[in-house]
Chains A and B, each alone.
Chain A
Amino acid sequence: MNKIHKINKTPPPIATLNSKNLLSIEGMNKLEINSLLDRADYFADLDPLKIIKTLNGYVILNVFFENSTRTRVSFELAGRRLGAEVINISVDKSSIKKGESLLDTANTLSAMKPNLLIVRHPESGAPKLFSDYLNCSIVNAGDGRHEHPTQALLDALTIRRRLGRIEGLKIAICGDILNSRVARSNIHLLTTLGVEVRCIAPPTLMPKSLENLGVNCFNSLKDGINNVNAIMLLRLQNERMSGTESPSKREYYRFYGLDEEKLRMAHHDAVIMHPGPMNRGVEIASSLADNEDRSLIKTQVEIGVAIRMATIEAVYNAQK
């Protein structure tokens, strides 16, 4: 088993955010990001039974307008471990069907005086809309094609714990970047922390002017992962695989699916990550996904809870 690199020996302070909301990584500075990573790093090693429940009485609503299991459970567990009350609401099944507008739903929930709304929504910018109209804190748990900030934070901490640092690394992000909020958050976070970021996608899934975000773009996986320290794979939706953005699954796999052979181009220690849920045999070979020396996919999920604890706590602190 690989050893875990620890940066802090004494417990780090509660992370500091410049806002009471966490809507996007874009706009956050190095200090904010690192303080979240440090705090989450500390939580990750703590025995959950020994965590002091500082958020007693704090009410968190998990408002998910889109199906999600792992992110919702991760936030829920994070809130509960800190002593907060977490209530899950899947809105797609209730009010929206009755024609209630998003803001009315938000106002109804807000009248119940929650301290924090954790929002996932299929449309880019929806959490920003909530924050414009509501007084409580908002944490973005994924909005459309825009951002998924806590995913990027947990990815960064996973890498830091495994490779001992972030600054100066070369990291590749590969797959459907055009439609990926995970990619956008990761790009902002990694470039802010001084990583050389390479984005790899077929031309049909590469957004326009992406290089203006400070990354290098590649259409060839082999060129893109040359000597990288980590490869972040993105999920491909099946409906994009039938001749619209990509000719077929097998052609995609041939050129962009990560297997042992292509992985040889990367740094000999390179690690593989995936935000899940993954399509085996489309973006990643099954054997690689299960290779625990290389794949950090399970660790990512574990670190997710710690990152979300640090986030909830930081937002709580910023409200005071």
Chain B
Amino acid sequence: MHKNNNPILLKNIRVIDTSQNLDQEMNITINNGIISYFENSKKNIPFNEKDFRSVNCKDKILSPGIFDLRVYLNETNNENVSILKNAAVKSGVLKMGILPFQKPLLDNPIMIEHLIEKTNFNNDKFFYPYGGATKELKGNEIAELGLMAEVGAIGFTDAPNCIQDSLVMRRVMSYAKMLEKPILQNPEDKSLAGLTASNSTTIQGEMNEGEVSTRLGLVGIPSCAEVMIVERDLRLAELTGVHYHVSNVSTKETVEVIKRAKLNGIKITCDTSPPYFSLNELELSTYDTSFKLSPPLRNEEDRIAIQNAIFDDTIDIITSDHKPMSNDTKILPFTSASTGASGIETLLPLTLNLLNKSDVSIMNILKKITLNPSKLLKVEIPKIKSNEKANFIIFDPNEQYLINKDSLQTSPTPFHGRPVQGKNYMSMMNGEIVFDNLDLL
């Protein structure tokens, strides 16, 4: 193993820094964690290569690390903070927004402070917590948004819950506006998303409503349950002037409504995650619970609409929506099985897969996992230039392989056995090598 302070020479590497709009083939050296030489690869190297750990990185890409907008820090039987962190750096994710839905909930300043202290050592800022928008994420009373913002909450959300009550949503938005933080909503009209068998019992929806749910005898969630909330929220966003962010856009209708709102100048952004542009509801036909997600996988028309919305920039951000679940909660009949799947390890390759679907530029796609989340949350990502600390990932955008659930550290994945392309080979944070597979290149 090479020591951290061994000088490294990266030859002919394609540097794509979305924050500087830079895309160039370069030669780079890293000395004591600092980028010391940073020049176009056409220039001759003015020093002796033998003094370096020299790697030819032709056709490999050096980029700022991924900023994963929304991650659940579920401490399950198979996952904890250090497993998550290892899995993240290995997969090129160097910053992540932590959702308040965990035990205990991040709906008060003490928990936010605790999480920041517990997870960020040596100025190694990795986890950025959101605060719960309402107390216990129940959607009834506003949480202490001001106090949470003071100790470092980067935004507010009740995810995976959706704030149903319009008045509560208005009040949360007004507060978030005052604090200049975004409010993230996982839109789903709860009363429409299930079956009410009698006044007392509601059966939760389990998958997208349509032919497949009819065949499988599973309770359907109509796709309009999503757009209805977005339309309401847009009115409230206009009223309050807050930065409103829609999480996990999954339907064609939602895309259309957001596109229109953007044209009308409303302060709105949105994200989606790989399942919604890679998979559709047909995956559920064998009752495979690794496809039990919220929002549910929609139909093919929706999938295509989501994919196109990424290309035309209606969708600003791609996030893993990482929600690990213990395998024990997945080997159950569909209705009893837990909702959610891991995603942090498959975010990069599934996002790069999009390059095969259109002539969209890699710069534009990388923005959606680096620059755009950092803009939304007003957390700067370190620039790649000379005399800066090394903060980047190096990946091969062309390497093709099959995702194998047994080689992932987090579970469950809905992408087992799927062909993808793109693999991370090195991660550097704050001048330190946190993951290094460069020798395998």
Q: How far is the CA of A124 from the CA of B335 in the complex (A)?
A: 7
Q: How far is the CA of A213 from the CA of B215 in the complex (A)?
A: 8
CB contacts (< 8 Å) of A125 on chain B: these are 216-218, 287, 333-334
B211 lies within 8 A of A213 (CB): yes
B86 in the interface (beta carbon within 8 A): no
Q: Which residue of B lies closest to A210 (CB)?
A: B214
Supposing A145-B218, A208-B213 touch, asked if A242 and B199 sit within 8 A by C-beta, the answer is yes
A26 lies within 8 A of B218 (CB): no
A101 lies within 8 A of B332 (CB): yes
Which of B219-262 touch A at CB < 8 Å? 219-220, 222
Q: Which residue of A lies closest to B198 (CB)?
A: A239
Q: Pick from A101, A124, A209: contact of B287, CB below 8 A.
A: A124
A144 lies within 8 A of B217 (CB): yes
B120 in the interface (beta carbon within 8 A): no
A147 in the interface (beta carbon within 8 A): yes
Supposing A123-B335, A126-B333, A209-B210 touch, asked if A244 and B216 sit within 8 A by C-beta, the answer is no
Supposing A209-B214, A212-B211 touch, asked if A244 and B335 sit within 8 A by C-beta, the answer is no
A207 in the interface (beta carbon within 8 A): yes
CB contacts (< 8 Å) of A121 on chain B: these are 333
Q: Interface 1/0s, chain A 94-135, versus B by CB < 8 A?
A: 000000011100000000000000000101111011000100
Smallest beta-carbon distance B245→chain A, Å: 30
Enumerate chain A interface residues (CB-CB to B < 8 A): 26, 101-103, 121, 123-126, 128-129, 133, 143-147, 181, 184, 207-210, 212-213, 237, 239-240, 242-244
Q: Which residue of A lies closest to B286 (CB)?
A: A128
Q: How far is the CA of A126 from the CA of B337 in the complex (A)?
A: 11
Q: Which residue of B lies closest to A125 (CB)?
A: B287
Smallest beta-carbon distance B185→chain A, Å: 25
Q: Which residue of B lies closest to A130 (CB)?
A: B333
B197 lies within 8 A of A208 (CB): no
B56 in the interface (beta carbon within 8 A): no
CB contacts (< 8 Å) of B287 on chain A: these are 124-125, 128-129
Supposing A128-B287, A212-B211, A213-B215 touch, asked if A102 and B198 sit within 8 A by C-beta, the answer is no
Supposing A124-B335, A244-B196 touch, asked if A208 and B217 sit within 8 A by C-beta, the answer is no
Supposing A128-B286, A209-B211, A242-B198 touch, asked if A181 and B333 sit within 8 A by C-beta, the answer is no
Q: Which residue of B lies closest to A122 (CB)?
A: B335
Q: How far is the CA of A26 from the CA of B334 in the complex (A)?
A: 18
Q: Which one of A103, A207, A210, A242 has the greatest number of beta carbons of chain B within 10 Å?
A: A207
A244 lies within 8 A of B333 (CB): no
A244 lies within 8 A of B214 (CB): no
B220 lies within 8 A of A244 (CB): no
Q: Which residue of B lies closest to A129 (CB)?
A: B333
A103 lies within 8 A of B331 (CB): yes
Q: How far is the CA of A213 from the CA of B214 in the complex (A)?
A: 9
CB contacts (< 8 Å) of B211 on chain A: these are 208-209, 212-213
Q: Which residue of A lies closest to B219 (CB)?
A: A145
Which of B299-338 touch A at CB < 8 Å? 328, 331-336
Smallest beta-carbon distance B315→chain A, Å: 26
B209 in the interface (beta carbon within 8 A): yes
Supposing A123-B336, A239-B198 touch, asked if A143 and B217 sit within 8 A by C-beta, the answer is yes
CB contacts (< 8 Å) of B215 on chain A: these are 26, 184, 213
Q: How far is the CA of A89 from the CA of B241 in the complex (A)?
A: 61
Smallest beta-carbon distance A18→chain B, Å: 17
Smallest beta-carbon distance A252→chain B, Å: 15
